[in-house]
Amino acid sequence: MHPVETRFFAPQAWVNGAWAFDVLLTVDATGHWSAIAPGATPDQRAGAHCLAGPVLPGVVNAHSHAFQRAIAGLTEQRSPARSANTAASRDDFWSWRERMYAAALRISPAQLEHIAALLYTELLAGGYTQVCEFHYLHNAALGSPPASALDMSMALVRAAQRVGMGLTLLPTLYMRSGFGATGLRPDQQRFASTPASLCRLVDDLQTQTQDMAHVNLGVAVHSLRAADSPAIAELAQFAHDRGLPVHIHIAEQEQEINDCIAHTGQRPVQWLLEHAPVNARWNLVHATHTTAQELAGVAHSGASTVICPSTEANLGDGVFDFSTYCALGGRWSVGSDSHVTRGWTEELRLLEYSQRLMHKKRNVAAHCGPGTSSAANLLEAALNGGLAATALPLGGLQIGQRADFQVLDDQASNLLGVPRECVLDALVFSSPGAEPKAIYVAGQAVTHHVHAEVASAFAQTMGALWTS
């Protein structure tokens, strides 16, 4: 906590969905905004810390698998043919998953901490200040010393605490290999959990982290193919009783849609809305292959979607029906998922560009919100969705919200000479950009440059994973 309130002066800051100027920002002793005053006079801002660039809120990264940072760039070569009858190799989500498992099955708690420490530093540099970690590496690696689910989870907590990243940890239910299966395959045993084991893990984690800053808990269901209806209901009831956010992968792949229909007679989102207590605490990750009726149901329920444009593009998933969902008033957040990119501006740019390619129109998001700027509407929606993803007050520069913010480098080449009203547009749609000058979490500056020891530990981990 801050011993006393802290005051900052920003020549330009993003307040209530628009740029405000000469803004005096006050952080209370708990690290939350207590006053925001545009048009501050020189006398009013006397003694305040002057921020040397435009100020934007920190953004929530609503979907992360930290361990997958270890395969970024390592899955971009043609897969071998799967059988003698295959004329040419097929690269898709399922072939990528086989490569991902090669890392998932080997990473130790110490290695996970090293990977996450580098990743979380990179995410800070990308303007994220809180990350939702969809975590299912619960058990020991194959052939490694015993490790508990608590060991694996605390590796992520330690990494976040070390670098100053806010963390919403989401222990994940994973019980079966697919629709109709009775259990997991041998190469999935590391992910094994039950509602009871997750409830115990959440209790243990709450005890372990109760005195740690900026750490909170939620729960996740890996997917409908990975858990049955009674288990989902049991975990959902636990989350309801504890007031926890719930996340679930859904409708990411067309094969998943077909399998769900074959085993349940319904599409995944349709099934979920009819059989689970979906409400404003639920976050539906991807929801790529959805009908307009399903999207209307999600919007009506109050749930949010979590869109991960860079991963969805990298995996060839497909394109989310953003225009329809926005017209329905749907809530959404953004995540970097497999971390092939690690900045929120690129995620929002890819989201907008995918819509332009689909609809052959420009400024699609500019017609999907209250503002006239695509970047402004995208950022405001992502901030609003971050509240649902984390169940924390992370909605931007508003009184009562946590004082997370980033100070932009207005001398970076993509912002140089840009009129001040267009700074956000240029930040999102003129690339490449520069890292922020500074990142603050709860009003405290955090380092967003990779320390030598963090880089060294990551490099050693990569060597152990991929050269042994």
Domain ranges, ordered by start, for the chain: 6-57+398-452, 60-79+90-390
- The catalytic residue among 28, 337, 409, 410 is 337
Closest CA to 346 of 305, 303, 307: 307
287, 251 in Cβ contact below 8 A? yes
Read off the pLDDT of residues 180-197 as tens digits, 9 standing for 90 and up.
999 999 989 999 999 999
Q: Output the pLDDT for position 140.
A: 84
337 is catalytic: yes
Per-residue pLDDT averaged across 208-233, rounded? 98
**Does the pLDDT of residue 87 top 60, yes or no?**
no
* Residue entry with tokens 């080449």: 413
Per-residue pLDDT averaged across 337-344, rounded? 97
Q: Output the pLDDT for position 81.
A: 57
Cα 425 from Cα 431, distance rounded (Å): 11
CA 217 to chain centre: 14
Identify any residues that bridge with 23 across adjacent strands, giving them in sequence order.
Answer: 10
Cα 454 from Cα 162, distance rounded (Å): 10
Q: Output the pLDDT for position 141.
A: 79
CA 57-61-66 angle, to 5 degrees, is: 140
Q: Output the pLDDT for position 82.
A: 52
Q: What is the mean pLDDT of the chain?
A: 95
Q: Out of 2-6, 222-226, 367-371, 400-404, which region has the weakest mean confidence (pLDDT)?
A: 2-6
Q: Do domains 6-57+398-452 and 60-79+90-390 have the same CATH topology?
A: no
Cα 40 from Cα 46, distance rounded (Å): 10
Cα 18 from Cα 186, distance rounded (Å): 52
- For 385-397, letters b (16+ CB in 10 Å) and e give bbbbbbbbbbbbb
**Does the pLDDT of residue 2 top 70, yes or no?**
no
Cα 336 from Cα 343, distance rounded (Å): 8
**Does the pLDDT of residue 84 top 90, yes or no?**
no
At residue 1 the predicted structure's pLDDT band, cuts being 50, 70 and 90, is low
Per-residue pLDDT averaged across 4-21, rounded? 96
Q: Out of 96-100, 401-405, 422-426, 450-454, which region has the weakest mean confidence (pLDDT)?
A: 96-100
**Helix 268-275 and helix 292-301: axis angle, to 10°?**
30
- Say which CATH superfamily domain 60-79+90-390 falls into: Metal-dependent hydrolases (3.20.20.140)
449 is catalytic: no
At residue 96 the predicted structure's pLDDT band, cuts being 50, 70 and 90, is confident
- The catalytic residue among 114, 249, 286, 339 is 286
Per-residue pLDDT averaged across 75-99, rounded? 71
Cα 78 from Cα 49, distance rounded (Å): 52
Per-residue pLDDT averaged across 273-298, rounded? 98
**Does the pLDDT of residue 102 top 90, yes or no?**
no
Read off the pLDDT of residues 122-135 as tens digits, 9 standing for 90 and up.
999 999 999 999 99
Cα 432 from Cα 28, distance rounded (Å): 35
Q: Output the pLDDT for position 433.
A: 85
Per-residue pLDDT averaged across 236-246, rounded? 98
**DSSP structure string for 222-260:** --GGGS-HHHHHHHHHHHHHHT--EEEEES-SHHHHHHH
Read off the pLDDT of residues 370-420 as tens digits, 9 standing for 90 and up.
999 999 999 999 999 999 999 999 999 999 999 999 999 999 999 999 999
Read off the pLDDT of residues 302-331 as tens digits, 9 standing for 90 and up.
999 999 999 999 999 999 999 999 999 999
Q: Output the pLDDT for position 297.
A: 98
At residue 464 the predicted structure's pLDDT band, cuts being 50, 70 and 90, is very high
**CATH 2.30.40.10 matches 6-57+398-452:** yes
- Portion of the chain with pLDDT greater than 70, in percent: 96
